[in-house]
Amino acid sequence: MESWRSRLCDLRFRRSIALTPYPDGLPTPRRYWAMTVIGLALGMSVLDSAIANVALPTITHALHTTPAEAIWIVNAYQLAIVVTLLPLASLGEIVGYRRIYQGGLCLFTLASLGCAMSHTLPELILARVVQGLGAAGIMSVNGALVRFTYPHRLLGRGVGLNALIVAVASAIGPTVTSAILAVGTWEGLFAVNVPIGIVAALIANRALPETPRVDKAFDWVSTAFNAAAMFLIVIGVDEFSRGRSPLLAAAELGVGLAAGAFLIRRELKFARPLVPIDLMRIPIFALSVATSIASFSAQMLAYLSLPFLLEGFLHRSAVQTGLLMTPWPIGVGIAAPIAGRLADRWPAAIIGGAGMTLMAVGLALLAMTPATASDLDLAWKMAVCGAGFGLFQAPNNRTLLTAAPRERAGAAGGMLAISRLIGQTTGALGVAFLFRVATIHASHIALVCAAVVAAVGVVFSLTRLGAPPATALAHAPAEAPEF
């Protein structure tokens, strides 16, 4: 019975793909309009993560609350994304990536208005949860939409532009926050999203590509276990890194890991699971995911510790610190488009490995910076790190997206986004842990750790040279029913 249902589901899936014409990318100028929408929405969702971190002290004072309570303004947003990202990527395969993206964009815009109109901490936290759900809708299918927007021969350019938007949005968060707070209140940090979101939603209705849909039911059971595992693991690690109740942290981690183990065991039965274990069987895909996690972990380790190095050890002012960190996003902005074009011609293992090597060298040089270092010495080292990071992202992301079959583009895009979040979260928790246990030279130690993690990323990237090419594993008939 199960085998018959499995073959029927697979037949329906193949028929839905075969009967629907999906050209190789969008024609111009529609391609440019689609990429404009994709960039605007992704940039807002990534930027809002950085903005809230920087503005937290201001918001804490304005709402008359404590830092311990206000931290949930950040945590609520991140947790909502982490918990729902993979389920929304799976839902995108069923209802179409375009619908998920449009829904996420509209929800994010409305929630931004809700954040700006909040007068109490609970109201703001609730609005941030909804905003996180919208951001998850944007991030979960972003990579899939890029793959259907650009023709295969130009996909590297699209992925390069996408990587540029993510990297720059993450890097300029402090600068944007300072600029808005200099002329307005904290509410303006969220209100600015509303007109941009409305314009993007109007363009999206006509520009975004239609994509294939899979004839399967949404797996609510796996979604529940995914939510429990992600939530409890993140909360448990956060509790541990902050040095709070060790027993509570251990309990949260234990239950979260148990839920994750049950989820993986359940997902192994399905041909197209919610957690894309099928794609992780493709060596080059798994290595690209691991490399992505390493790169973003190294970036976050560095980016959170550098202000402490510049202000505490090198005695620069807050304004000087912001200016000295600017060469990093500039380096990304220069290298990412170049890397995108190279990715269409050269193996990602070589380009990505070179980029991560450059980043590791830059981080090591920053870690060895003497107390007498000049601004110019700091600036060029920052630029080296940014150029290396920008050179790596586009080739790696292109390989990750194209390693999966086209009908699994949503799952691949979801893994691309979740690997970035895992890396950033790991880096942030690493910095919190180091500053708790190493009060002296913690920023230097964090930079050394970042260089080591980047070097590990080099190994992962170069290992792809010996990996077999992507196969059609996801096309294989299932041995059990979908759901």
Helix, strand and coil in the chain, % to nearest 5:
80, 0, 20
CA pair distance 137, 92, nearest whole angstrom = 9
- pLDDT, residue 294, reads 93
CA pair distance 62, 307, nearest whole angstrom = 24
- pLDDT, residue 452, reads 95
Which residue ranges form the domains of the chain, and what is each CATH number? 27-218 (1.20.1250.20), 276-483 (1.20.1250.20)
Q: Could you tell me if 454 and 356 are in contact, meaning their C-beta atoms sit under 8 angstroms apart?
A: yes
CA distances from 465 to 160, 222, 343, 469 (A): 21, 34, 14, 9
Q: Any idea of the CA torsion for 134, 140, 142, 145, to the nearest 10 degrees?
A: -110
Tell me how crowded residue 153 is: count the other CB atoms within 10 A of its CB. Answer: 11
- pLDDT, residue 338, reads 86
Kindly tell me the sign of the dihedral angle through the C-alpha atoms of 165, 336, 444, 454: positive
pLDDT in tens, the chain (483 residues): 444 444 444 444 444 433 344 567 788 888 999 999 988 898 888 888 777 766 777 888 888 887 767 778 877 888 898 889 889 988 988 888 899 999 999 999 999 999 999 989 899 999 999 999 999 999 888 888 888 888 888 887 787 787 778 777 876 777 787 788 878 888 888 998 999 999 999 998 888 888 878 777 888 888 898 888 888 888 887 777 666 677 887 888 889 889 988 988 888 888 778 888 888 888 888 888 999 999 999 988 888 788 888 877 888 876 677 778 888 888 888 888 888 788 777 888 888 889 999 999 999 999 998 888 898 999 999 999 999 998 888 888 888 888 888 778 778 888 888 888 888 888 877 887 787 776 667 888 889 999 999 999 999 888 888 766 654 443 333 333 343
Q: What would the 3-class secondary structure string for 67-109 be?
A: HHHHCHHHHHHHHHHHHHHHHHHHHHHHHCHHHHHHHHHHHHH
pTM confidence score: 0.77
Q: Could you tell me if 97 and 141 are in contact, meaning their C-beta atoms sit under 8 angstroms apart?
A: yes
- pLDDT, residue 21, reads 44
